[in-house]
Amino acid sequence: MLTRISLRGRILLFFAALAAGAMAALAVGMWFGYHREGSPDMLNAFMQSAIAAGFLILALVAWIWFLFDTHLARPIDKVASAMRARAHADVAHDFQADDARYLGDLAEAASATAATIAQTRGALAEQVQRETTRLSSDKNKLEQLLADVPPAVLLCTGRHHLVFYNGVAQQMLAGSQRPVCLDRNVFDYLSEGPIRDAHNRLLEGSDRDAVVEFICLSPCGRRRLAGRMRLASDNGGDQAAYVMTLRDVTTEVAAYARRDALLGDVFLQVRPVVSNLRNVLLSREVDVRGEDAVSTQIQVLDAALAELEARFESCRSDGWPMAPTDARELAGQLRRELEVRKLSLSSNAAELAVRCNAFDIVSLLAHVVTRIGEQTGAARFHLAISESAGAADVTVTWEGRSVQPDNLAVWLSEPVFEGGVTCDTILRAHGNEVLTGNTEGQPAISMRLKPIERLHPASADISRHVVYDFDLLSRLHYDKLSEAQMDALTYVVFDTETTGLLPEQGDEIVQIAAVRIVNGKRVKNEVFDMLVNPGRPIPASASAIHGVTDAMVKDAISVQEAVRQFHRFAEGAVLVAHNAPFDMEFLSRREKDVGLRFVNPILDTVLVSATAFGQAETHTLDALAERLGVVIAEEDRHTALGDAIATADVFIKLKDMLAGRGLTRFGEVLTRLRSHQRLVRDLNDHARVS
């Protein structure tokens, strides 16, 4: 029973018992003295003496308890917490023993023990680092290769949860309603039926190395994906785990469909005309009316063939390898190609992408420009690529004589290089032609490329990374949240920046950010960070704290959309925040507007800190970061993402400290947190944790 009470609580009980015992001894002594004297006149004197002595005893015991609590009990708790932080949370900075100066050699011994632990850990880490440097280098190279391979690569558990995905997979599946994240169900991103069918065929088959091919759709149905699946050989004990590769075949399928439709129309349109001609000829009508009938059918056939030929030209490029190419890169490739041929090229290219075969287009233009230089003696050329009516106008100009269309036709009939395709073939594949003319008084050749798309700057190059945690293959699944190990849960640690501190008076979110913790580790590439338009001016006092201004959020998404997107990011995870009731109030107010509810369990790092360090400590984020050795850059403090990352790193260390105390299950931790609700209100009444 007493072991459940904190050290300070037990010491307080000890002094309370001591005070009660002293008061009882005083009462017995006064009673014995009074009865021995036996004079009723002495009663008042005895009572006054007893009361005075009692107050003096209580004051003396309280004073001694206060000194004992201040100089012994509290420092002992601090030393114990500091030791646990260094033993379980990997804290390495020096031990502060000033508050424990009355503990004799205990503080120095604890400090020496902590230093020894840190030195031993550092030496071990250094040795491990030396031994694993080569393996780490090989691992990084393998990650880069996997990140850049053309197909999307996914590794899933037998319960269809993501364990590994490469950059191509993240880009391919990013169009779904949920961001791609570890431990998410793969059916959040892909149609369920074909994948389950392929998986069941592998499990029911006798060959563990079998490969099953299938076709599936993205959830929005806009992409058709060709997949290959096989069971994972090194599966961490999950015999149903599988590897899946996906390739986007939407364009290919559409191209085949267009060609099939073209061939079908050939038979539908040409066959009746040919049949009519045959009937007319077989009737042996040689009069004028018969000749008119033949002429009419020939005109119909000619028109049908012309229309089919036009459709064939539009389908010609379907089988040609093409990809979106930055117009500026196209200009750069042409410039480098002409420099090899002793010709110079200046360029002015718009920021847009053109779908083409860049190698063929550059080879064609280089061939034609070279021929122009040979005929006209020009050595300086200028390339301009601009947008016009949904296409890219490509124009090459030079100073000197112009070229004749006949000469251009001859050059286009030549191969672009020895043994290569002709320029005409490249033009037909792109549904294009090269024309001669004049631009701003200078001779020029021009062509049009389409389709085009605008380039948008990317905030991060996610294609160069793979994201994985192979320990997820062996992680246990719990039906009851309260029984789950803390590291078996997925956490979303978030923070908000707002226009003020009073949501009930109209203050709104201006920035929201979050990071994910999976299997006890923060996933660096799974980040949610966005500015939000609050729909009201941001006070200068608020901007001075978090740095978000009205100009920054002018074109940002609305609060409702931000809450909706964050809900998708946090789906199925435990929410973690520092002073969670404040942040959750801003989210909860918008639940009715977006038609969603945050039913996630919620952990507050203030309560977790109180459980780890005791209520008497300071539990601000800055104090926790300093105590646990978490560095927060000054420029990141009071930004949503900076505070979310700091809170996540603090939470991981606090969680490890709780595990050192035997608090490893979510239900146990939640019970302990609720005992500190006088600091911050617990928000888990709505969550199912049983």
- pLDDT tens digit sequence for 166-221: 888 888 887 656 788 999 999 988 988 889 989 998 998 888 889 999 988 876 65
Which residue out of 619, 638, 676, 686 is catalytically annotated? Answer: 638
pLDDT: is 144 or 156 the higher one? 156
Stronger pLDDT, 28 or 410, i.e. the higher one: 410
User: Which of 176-190, 348-362, 478-492 has maximum average pLDDT?
Assistant: 478-492
The lowest-confidence range among 27-41, 496-510, 548-562 is 27-41
Most trustworthy range by pLDDT among 36-45, 204-213, 286-295: 204-213
Q: What number does CATH give the domain 480-674?
A: 3.30.420.10
Mean per-residue pLDDT over the chain, rounded: 82
Q: Examine the pLDDT at 398 and tell me if it is beyond 90.
A: yes
User: Are 577 and 650 spatial neighbours (Cβ–Cβ below 8 Å)?
Assistant: no
Which residue has better confidence, 312 or 643? 643
Q: Are 212 and 201 in contact (CB under 8 A)?
A: yes
Question: What is the maximum alpha-carbon separation in the chain?
Answer: 162
Q: Is the pLDDT of residue 311 over 70?
A: no
pLDDT band at residue 605 using 50, 70 and 90 as cut-offs: very high
Say which residue, 463 or 88, is predicted with more confidence.
Answer: 88
- Percentage above 90 pLDDT, the chain: 37
Among the residue ranges 16-25, 48-57, 141-150, 194-203, the one predicted with the least confidence is 141-150
Q: What average pLDDT score do residues 22-40 get? A: 74
Segment 31-51 shows an average pLDDT of: 70
Span 323-454 CATH architecture? 2-Layer Sandwich (3.30)
Query: What integer pLDDT is reported at residue 71 of this predicted model?
Result: 77
Helix axis angle, 621-628 to 640-660, nearest 10°: 60
Least confident of 146-155, 311-320, 369-378, 525-534: 311-320
Mean pLDDT of 223-238: 87
**What is the model's pLDDT at position 96?**
63
Q: What is the C-alpha to C-alpha distance for residues 379 and 386, in angstroms, rounded to an integer?
A: 23
| Tokens found for residue 676 | 């500190």
| Residue with the larger pLDDT of the pair 682 and 600 | 600
pLDDT of residue 684: 78
pLDDT higher than 70, residue 145: no
Is the pLDDT reported for residue 458 higher than 50? Answer: no
Is-cis flag, bond preceding 151, omega within 30? no
Average pLDDT over residues 378-389: 91
308-312 — which CB contacts under 8 Å span 24+ positions? 308/262, 308/265, 308/266, 308/269, 308/270, 311/262, 311/265, 312/262
Integer Cα distance of 438 and 5 in angstroms: 93
Q: What share of the chain is helix, strand, coil (3-state, %, to 5)?
A: 55, 20, 30
How does residue 1 score in pLDDT terms, banded at 50, 70 and 90?
A: low
The confidence score (pLDDT) of residue 513 equals 96
pLDDT of residue 178: 77
If you average pLDDT over residues 442-452, what whole number do you get?
A: 88
The reported pLDDT for the residue numbered 466 is 84
The more confident residue out of 338 and 270 is: 338
What is the CATH code for 149-248? 3.30.450.20
Please check the confidence at residue 681 and state whether its pLDDT lies above 50: yes
User: Exposed, middle or buried, 187 (CB in 10 Å: 0-12/13-18/19+)?
Assistant: middle
Give me 449's structure tokens.
């490329």
Beta-carbon contacts of 470 under 8 Å, excluding residues fewer than 6 positions away, are 155, 163, 164, 236
pLDDT, position 242: 95
pLDDT bracket for residue 104 (50, 70, 90): low
Question: At 468, is the secondary structure helix, strand, or coil?
Answer: strand
Residue 249 confidence (pLDDT) above 70: yes
The confidence score (pLDDT) of residue 305 equals: 63
Q: What is the CA radius of gyration of the chain?
A: 39
Banded model confidence at residue 369, pLDDT cuts 50, 70, 90: very high
Q: What is the mean pLDDT of residues 312-340?
A: 76
Q: Which residue has the tokens 């009444």?
A: 685
Which is more confident, 478 or 287?
A: 478
d(CA 70, CA 75): 7
pLDDT at 320 over 90: no
- pLDDT at position 559 is 94
More confident call, 682 vs 196: 196
Quick check: is 638 catalytic? Answer: yes
Q: How many Cα atoms sit within 13 Å of 384 on the Cβ side?
A: 12
Most confident of 44-48, 175-179, 205-209, 365-369: 365-369
Average pLDDT for residues 256-267, to the nearest whole number?
60
